[in-house]
Amino acid sequence: MTGEFVTLEVTDKIGTIRLDRPKMNALNTQVQQELRAAAQEATERDDVRAVVLYGGPKVFAAGADIKEFAETDYTRMVARAEALTGSLTAVARIPKPVIAAVTGFALGGGCELALTADFRVAGDNAKLGQPEILLGIIPGAGGTQRLTRLVGPAKAKDLIYSGRFVDAAEALAIGLVDKVVAPDDVYAAAVEWASQFANGPAWALRAAKAAIDGGLDVDLETGLRLESQLFAGLFATEDKRIGMESFLANGPGKAEFTGA
């Protein structure tokens, strides 16, 4: 998939969704549409087993296109708000492991995009935040919801009410990112993380993500039913047979899964 600002490139079963809209990868309407298309393609392609989100070596994404927002009134935003949220939700719903490789700024919509990933690797130069309050608005593409689920309500309110940026060290301490490396190593570290899933049991990974993400939105009893159904379904997969036969013959961790 090749858009003007967003591309999907696949190497060794890892798909990289790359943002490249100079200077700061602002998420205008076109970028949102291209993100949705890239997420859909990554979802559908069998040769993509894990995904890396990457904004390039200098910046992940510095937020929405404020000029575009400034020219939008209430009635037009009512029509567009769901599309904005939906473009990032499409990334969150990729049923495969997703790692965000964050360099430089990940602010506003850029932070919300990073929040759609399962894991976040950040450079030690990274700055993350939800500064929408400084513009007289609030996060509108998942920030109030995904950030709260990730770091808890008190810390989410701290960041959203103040609009302040956090550096990589604080982001790591509060659980906003999962690993911090040198800026030049961010993409390689994200690819290395993704590579552990590239040859894994694709349907089991898909089920694990569905169980965890789906369970966050329901009560425990409903979540347990969801888990049980997904668990049982994996007994129809070839990878279940491969994994268990390998375990019985050779012990754990030696199965060569096919993704079927």
- Catalytic residue of the set 4, 71, 112, 221: 112
The answer to whether the Cα torsion of 243, 231, 120, 176 is positive or negative is: negative
- Catalytic residue of the set 9, 41, 71, 132: 132
Determine whether 41 is an active site residue: no
How far is 155 from 134, CA to CA, in rounded Å? 18
Residue listed under structure tokens 């990032």: 88
Supply 186's token pair: 């961010």
How far is 170 from 155, CA to CA, in rounded Å? 11
Closest CA to 156 of 134, 126, 132, 129: 129
How far is 111 from 139, CA to CA, in rounded Å? 10
Kindly report the CA angle at 141 between 138 and 146, in degrees rounded to 5?
Answer: 90
**Strands 14-19 and 6-11, sheet pairing:** antiparallel
Determine whether 112 is an active site residue: yes
Coil, strand or helix: which one is 158?
helix
Q: Which residues contact 237 (CB under 8 A, 6 or more apart)?
A: 201, 203, 204, 260
How far is 174 from 260, CA to CA, in rounded Å? 37
Supply 203's token pair: 């349907």
Residues taking part in catalysis: 112, 132
